[in-house]
Amino acid sequence: MARWCAEQGWPVHPLASGRKTPVANCPSCKDKHHSPAMCACLSAGLPCHGFHAATTSATRIDAWWSAFPSWGVGVACGRADLIVIDIDAHSAPVPDRNRLLPGIPIHDSVNLHGLASGFDTLALLAALRGQPSPAEDDSTLRVRTPSGGLHVWYRNPHPATRFRCSTGSSRKVALAWQVDVRADGGYIVAPATRTAQGTYLREGPARLPAPLPEWLGGELVRTGHTTQRQRPPVPSRPAIPRGRRPRTAARAHRILDPLLLDVTECAATSEGAAFTQKLNKAAYTAGGLTAAGHLDEHTARALLREAAETARSGQTARNERIINDALAAGSAHPLHLEGRS
């Protein structure tokens, strides 16, 4: 399995026999704390520092697993451009409903009877977005874990956008309760690896990861899973059409224009600019302003379309859906400007 993973371009590293954790460091690395990047063991071919030792070198892989055939196989997700949704089915107390899906309040009218695992929270998130649950996605590689969980493997279709790992119990960055994310800075157990608890078994017809679904990528962006990257210099800011504006709308435009500018500046970055999040924020704000009577809806919609087309001209239909949904959501919460300067 290690050779097969490496042939897919996925760097691999050894896992301790019968366990899902990396093999132990050598005595020298155990005795001192140092950066893996500065460790001579890696260049010498020793499997120290977990996924930092991952490689696609057939020579090194053969040497490792020939010497220790019982070692398991770990895949370094970030370097493999993989995003794995790790669905847990652990027995644990269910938290308050507003902690099940970070950032999404769940109304009391939603019946949560029977909710008990990450399969349930991920299905709930997918249902709220009108999508099938990734747990049922037989187009991509899925691996059943010994504990009854499921690893859903996806390929990052836009490698310029990087995602971080998270645990479903985190109060800072999480996708859903009992749903972990394995990406940059982490590893995943390869199928066919055997542990004391059982074997990681491929499930369904797919043998390779499919591209990460667009909606799921959007949820990872929304929940803060993208890592901060240095923004390339913008040679000039795309102009926002202004036209002739009524004086009564001046304050509304002072609020909306910076948000529109954030959208148009995404034109300088083809991926990883949080375009969807920025367009959603601008349209939501515009909806609140129009509902409160501070802005004409036709004008607001035209400005949003222009900014979106400037940044992402090849996805007009998608831009329109984002604008329509966010305008409708914002219109339910009028944004009154009394007292604002």
pLDDT tens-digit series, residues 192-223: 999 999 999 999 999 999 999 999 999 999 99
Residue 129 scores a pLDDT above 80: yes
More confident of the two residues 340 and 201: 201
The gap from C-alpha 263 to its chain's centroid, in whole angstroms, comes to 20
pTM equals 0.66
Q: Choose among 55, 65, 47, 45: nearest CA to 5.
A: 55
User: Mean pLDDT, the chain, as a whole number?
Assistant: 87
Q: Detail the DSSP E strand segments found in the chain.
A: 12-15, 72-76, 82-87, 142-144, 150-155, 179-182, 187-189, 194-195, 198-199, 201-203, 210-211
Q: How far apart are CA 41 and CA 17, in angstroms?
A: 21
- Quickly state the pLDDT bin for 11 (edges 50, 70, 90): very high
State the pLDDT confidence band at 243, using cuts at 50, 70 and 90: very low
Banded pLDDT at 71 (limits 50, 70, 90): very high
Q: What is the pLDDT of residue 170?
A: 86
Q: What's the CATH architecture for 82-222?
A: 2-Layer Sandwich (3.30)
Residues 6+ apart with CB under 8 A from 267: 238, 310, 311, 312
Instruction: Return the SS3 of 85.
Output: strand
- pLDDT-wise least confident of 79-83, 195-199, 224-228: 224-228
The Cα-based distances of 91 to 112, 119, 201 in angstroms read 16, 12, 21
Q: How confident is the model at residue 270 (pLDDT cuts 50, 70, 90)?
A: low
Listed by start position, the domains of the chain span: 2-74, 82-222, 247-331
Phi, psi of 323 (to 5 degrees): -65, -50
